[in-house]
Structure 1
Amino acid sequence: MIQEFKDFIAKGNVMDMAVGIIIGAAFTAIVQSLVTDMINPIVGLFTGGIDFTNLYWLYGDATYSSLESAREAGATVFAYGSFITAIINFLIIAFVVFMLVKLVNRVKSAAEKPDEVAPEVNTGPSQLDILIEIRDALNK
């Protein structure tokens, strides 16, 4: 079993996966910053500056000024606004990642296409043509 584990670790796929995870973590920070710092303010303009994170239902009779104060007091809250914000952020992040992958695929396919099709070079008769000529000559 230890040998199998060593063989598994020694394969290139594991290293590729590790590099992918590390780059993915760094990429997540970049996309999160893009969404939080650049896209969410634009979404806020369209929604009239509504901040969903403070929307909650409180179980009980007490009242609190914000979700944070209710949580600090130990009240039982149903924070549906945080969930809505998480869904919006997920959809924005998913769209941004989709557009980035689409762009990368377009660049990759453009790089794979040859610029010009090489003209067909006629190098003379093929081996089959020569054998046919020899056969025809022998038949005569």
Structure 2
Amino acid sequence: MGMLKEFKEFAMKGNVVDLAVGVVIGGAFGAIVSAIVDHILMPVVGMLTGGINFDALSVKVGEAELKYGMAISATVKFVVIAFFLFLIIKALNKTKKEEPPAAPPPTPEDIVLLREIRDALRK
């Protein structure tokens, strides 16, 4: 019973729940970006490069077929996702309020006492 209770405490921590929500949203965001890249961006790039279908690009090495075009498409997807995440994080950082600088720690009592002695001796 103790292990089940410990697992429940672990699973219900805020960080784990936040991570799960992030993974689900990230998966949905990845699907959206894949659709945009596969059906909008790459066909336009293909037209600009003379009708090249990047997903069909491959080279045969013996019996193996290396589909490097799919790697190009995956790289473009990664760059698009990274760029959009950069824009989102940049916008979130702008909305955060800047915290005022922390007050300096109080001067230790012995330093204050030494300064008073020094000032008294100067007089």
- State the TM bucket, normalised to the shorter chain: 0.5 to 0.7
Q: Higher RCO, 1 or 2 (CA under 8 Å, sep at least 6)? A: 1
Aligned length: 96
Match of residue 9 from structure 2: 7
Distance 1:93 1:44 in 2: 15
Please report the TM-score for the alignment, with normalisation by the length of structure 2.
0.65
Distance in 2 between residues matched to 1:103 and 1:39, nearest whole Å: 19
- % identical equivalent positions: 35
Quote how far apart the aligned CAs of 1:54 are. Answer: 5.9
Equivalent residue number for residue 112 of structure 1:
96
Q: Is 1:50–2:52 an aligned residue pair?
A: yes
CA distance in structure 1 between the aligned counterparts of 2:51 and 2:41, rounded to whole angstroms: 13
Show the counterpart of 1:93: 77
| 1:41-97 C-alpha deviation (Å, 9 max, x unpaired) | 1220233222352634275xxxxxxxxxxxxxxxxx4221x3x12211121111111
Which structure is larger by alpha-carbon Rg, 1 or 2?
A: 1
Within a 5 Å distance, the mapping from 1:1-140 to structure 2 comes to: 1-52=3-54, 53=56, 55-57=58-60, 59=62, 77-80=63-66, 82=67, 84-113=68-97
CA root-mean-square deviation: 2.3
> 2:58 corresponds to which letter in structure 1?
L
Q: Flag as ranges the 4+ runs of structure 1 deviating above 4 A.
A: none
